[in-house]
Structure 1
Amino acid sequence: MAKNSHNAGRGPSQRQLRVGELIRRNLSEILMRGDIHDPDLNRISITVGEVRCTPDLHIATAFILPLGGEGAEDALSLLRKNRHEIRRMIGKKMALKHTPELRYEIDMTFDQMDATRRLLDNDKVKRDVALPDEEGDI
């Protein structure tokens, strides 16, 4: 049996969720206050939508999106460039034995929500999901 196979198919543990949320809050605060010594990064307003941790808590992936969605790739490269300083700052704020390695990805949640909204606005889909009226007609 593979290592950690008992977690296969399950969602994240309470500890993963708690650590991920703590990292998300601290990362958001660091970015909001402009604590990083990179003026290019401090000029960008970045939203941290979610942080997911691996089961062993060694890697944390932050899903980010700049305000307005413009310049996402630039924000990603600036965060990756400053990952050591950010990790050190988060480590100081958190009481963990080991500060996870931080990785960054673009948060696609908003795009997925827009696509779902467009799909639900489609007349064919509206017709297919419509409830019958009181008389039983569709």
Structure 2
Amino acid sequence: MAKTRHQSAARSGGAPTQRQLRVAELIRRALSDVLARGEVHDPELLGVSITVSEVRCSPDLRHATAFVLPLGGTNTEGVVAALNRCKAEIRHLVTGQIELKYSPQFTFQPDRTFDQMDRTRELLDSPPVRRDLE
């Protein structure tokens, strides 16, 4: 079967396919459930509410990058480091909730979108921009 241009573009770093998006959302929900119930046994994660804002999957669905942020944004680097230390346990807990042919390897990264939104808001409120808008 011939590949369409869209499929080959997705494999070479283009837009994710519908399957990648669907699996990423399944993983995000399962990961959120696991973290909300506090099933991960790490002292640094005890009592910490963690938001999983996005999960991105590789085209072969064997790797997943989760973008996380602790509630309040405090100790983000420590929480991300703790999650990366416990990724084997998290992988086991998450794949017990969803059915996939392969269990993806997890990588956790801090979510920086809120910082970018704040920076954009600051730029839009700056005097030169406000002057140009008037």
Alignment of 1:6 onto 2:9? yes
8 Å Cα contact 1:46/1:66 also seen in 2: yes
User: CA offset at residue 38 of structure 1?
Assistant: 2.5
Contact 2:9 2:15 in 1 (8 A): no
Q: Equivalents in 2 of 1:57, 1:126: separation in Å?
A: 45
Q: 2:85 aligns with which of 64, 81, 88?
A: 81
**Per-residue deviation, 1:118:** 0.4
Which stretches of structure 1, 4 residues or more, deviate above 6 A after TM superposition? none
Structure 2: how far apart are the matches of 1:13 and 1:100?
A: 17
The residue number in structure 2 matching 1:64 is 68
Query: Pairwise CA RMSD of aligned residues?
Result: 1.5
Normalising by structure 2, we get a TM-score of 0.87
Q: Distance in 2 between matches of 1:129 and 1:100?
A: 48
Change (3 A) 1:129 1:9: farther
Partner Cα separation in structure 1 for residue 58 and residue 35 of structure 2: 23
Percent identity of equivalent pairs: 52
1:79, distance to aligned residue in structure 2 (A): 0.4
What SS does the aligned partner of 1:65 have?
A: strand
Paired AA for residue 9 in structure 2: H
Which of 20, 30, 37 aligns to 1:16? It is 20
Query: Which deviations, in whole Å up to 9, do the C-alpha atoms of 1:45-74 show, x marking residues without a partner?
Result: 111110011111111000011111110111
- Assess if the C-alpha contact under 8 Å between 1:31 and 1:42 holds in 2: no
Give the unaligned 5+ runs of structure 1.
131-138
**Which digits, 9 at most, give the CA deviation of each residue in 1:88-122, with x for residues without a partner?**
11111111010110000010000000000000111
Matched residues, number: 127
Matched residue SS, 1:93: coil
**Higher radius of gyration, 1 or 2:** 1
